[in-house]
Amino acid sequence: MPKKLFDIFSKRKIKIIEKPKIIADYREKNSLVISSLMSLGADVEIKELKVADYLVKDVAIERKTVSDFISSMINKRLLRQLEELQQYNKKILIIEGADKEELYSDNSEGINANAVRGFLLSITLRHNIPIIFTKNSEDTAKFLLVIAKKKEYSEIGLNAKKKSLNKKEQMQLILEGFQGIGPKNSKKLLEKFGSLKNIIDASQEELKSCIGKKSEIFKILNEKY
């Protein structure tokens, strides 16, 4: 039986299926999410994103594993990232691996379970950012792919920028890097002592008179590495 020859002069249009495009921050390039996206047929472009971990059409997505969520909650890094996400009309926070790690464990980094619940509520109600909990990296990739295939979302603009901090905000942010020192206490310390150097040079008694027991965290400044 003779084989059918492909008619190169056929007028029939060949339908080219475009791969759904997803832009990922370069810091995500070694994550399993990227490999899962590629295996699912996505066109993944790696770029340096000033804001968010993934951009899918006009949706900005910040991805956190459970452990990263807790640590960034403690050091206040997530608060800054949530503020930067506000540059996008559509944004999502993905918390990955919630079925493998206990998000509300009282023993996790010393954080009370209700403090975690309160922070999650703040993300949704105060920052107006929806939260999606995914099982693993593959589940995360599937969520991103669903967004990429939705026709109602338009193409993204890459004009988001890191929020620039003024001098006072920078000083407060440095203090908030100490565990237990939030915006309120960092402001109290700076108003009383005037500068970061004066705070570092202050005695434990002076610090305690300003912010109470939370001043004990500054003892670490005299510890050897």
Residue 205 and residue 184: Cα distance in Å, rounded?
A: 19
Per-residue confidence band for 106, with pLDDT thresholds at 50, 70 and 90: low
- Secondary structure element (H or E) that encloses residue 21, with its range: strand 21-25
How do the domains of the chain map onto residue ranges?
21-149, 167-222
Class of domain 21-149: alpha beta
Per-residue model confidence (pLDDT) at position 24: 94
Q: Residue 107 pLDDT more than 60?
A: no
Share of residues in the chain with pLDDT > 70 (%) = 82
Residue 107 and residue 147: Cα distance in Å, rounded?
A: 35
Name the residue type at position 143: F
Q: What is the DSSP string of 42-60?
A: -EEEEE--SS-SEEETTEE
Instruction: Write down the CATH number for the domain with range 167-222.
Output: 1.10.150.20
Determine the average pLDDT of the residues in 44-63: 92
User: CA nearest 82: which of 91, 168, 175?
Assistant: 91
Determine the average pLDDT of the residues in 69-88: 88
Determine the average pLDDT of the residues in 10-37: 81
Greatest CA separation for the chain: 97
CB 94 within 8 A of CB 134: yes
- Secondary structure element (H or E) that encloses residue 70, with its range: helix 66-74
Residue 74 and residue 215: Cα distance in Å, rounded?
A: 16
Q: Residue 28 pLDDT more than 90?
A: yes
Per-residue confidence band for 13, with pLDDT thresholds at 50, 70 and 90: low
Per-residue model confidence (pLDDT) at position 134: 95
Q: Is 98 exposed, middle or buried (0-12, 13-18, 19+ CB in 10 A)?
A: middle
Using one digit for the tens of pLDDT, what is the confidence trace for 118-177?
999 999 998 999 999 999 999 999 999 999 988 655 555 545 555 566 788 778 878 877
The mean of the pLDDT values for the chain is 83
Which tokens go with 90?
């559509």
Residue 86 and residue 92: Cα distance in Å, rounded?
A: 10
User: CA nearest 32: which of 58, 63, 66?
Assistant: 63
Per-residue model confidence (pLDDT) at position 124: 93
Determine the average pLDDT of the residues in 2-10: 53
Give the predicted TM-score (pTM) of the model.
0.64
Per-residue model confidence (pLDDT) at position 176: 78
Per-residue model confidence (pLDDT) at position 46: 93
Name the residue type at position 63: R
